[in-house]
Amino acid sequence: MFDYHSLFSLTNKTALVIGAGSGIGQACAEGLAAFGAHVVCADVRIAEAEESAKTIKAAGFSAEARQVDIRDSGSIQAMVQSIPQIDVLLCTPSINVRKPMLQISDEEFDRVISLNLRGTFLTLREVGKVMVQQGKGSIIVLSSIRSQVVEPGQSVYAATKAGVVQMIRALAAEVGTQGVRVNAIAPGVVETPLTAQIKNNPEWYQAYANKGILQRWAQPTEMVGAAIYLASEASSYVTGTVLFVDGGWTAADGRFQPPL
């Protein structure tokens, strides 16, 4: 019988997690390590990356830290060259500027695009080259429900998250026959540093909770299962797709509960 138990094993694999210093990246780094991967915790904030690696090692798993700024191709190249093999890439960093579109400055637009879209592109390009040369690998990037649905104040952020989806689809089509799979995870509302502004406003926070079918926010740990699935052989026939982990946000229509 096929060894189904090994489907989710990441033993003898190296997973590079960019954004591992906090939030979803940190939780996924811990989860990937727990399933057997040696995890390289990378972040622009090296102290936070080192703390994540320390936590993983304290739990009896394998990890190390790297500093990287994904807005700088040279920084990405230096990091990639320092890692002998990369079997899994999980790229999470994003920023947001919540403003009406007509009030967004040139600088604010450039800042969001530079990290969310250009930074993701640079990372896909540099790590993708390594994986193609290896003839294997799984690339996972963070998109969002905002790639599909928007609200006032989310124009540039939503554009970057939709752009990320099209990039992973194109890359998947280009490198699939060379043993590399490329997918995205699209979270809904997750309690992370990025969403602290919303959590600090009780009315706003509750409105978002009410929108999803599960009627609550997600915790970063609830994104880990999707990351492990896409990183492992359990998803060996999955590429060019977006896995929504949104508590039913994109399935349900509106916030009003009709009297049935």
Rounded distance, CA 95 to CA 115, Å? 7
**At 149, which amino acid appears?**
V
Beta bridge partners of 104: none
Rounded distance, CA 161 to CA 180, Å? 22
Asked if 205 is an active-site residue, the reply is no
| Residue 143 burial by Cβ neighbours in a 10 Å radius (0-12, 13-18, 19+) | buried
**At 232, which amino acid appears?**
S
By C-alpha distance, which of 95, 175, 164, 186 is closest to 127? 175
4, 157, 205, 237: the catalytic one is 157
> Where do we find the tokens 């990937």?
32
Tokens of 137: 């690998």
Catalytic residues: 157
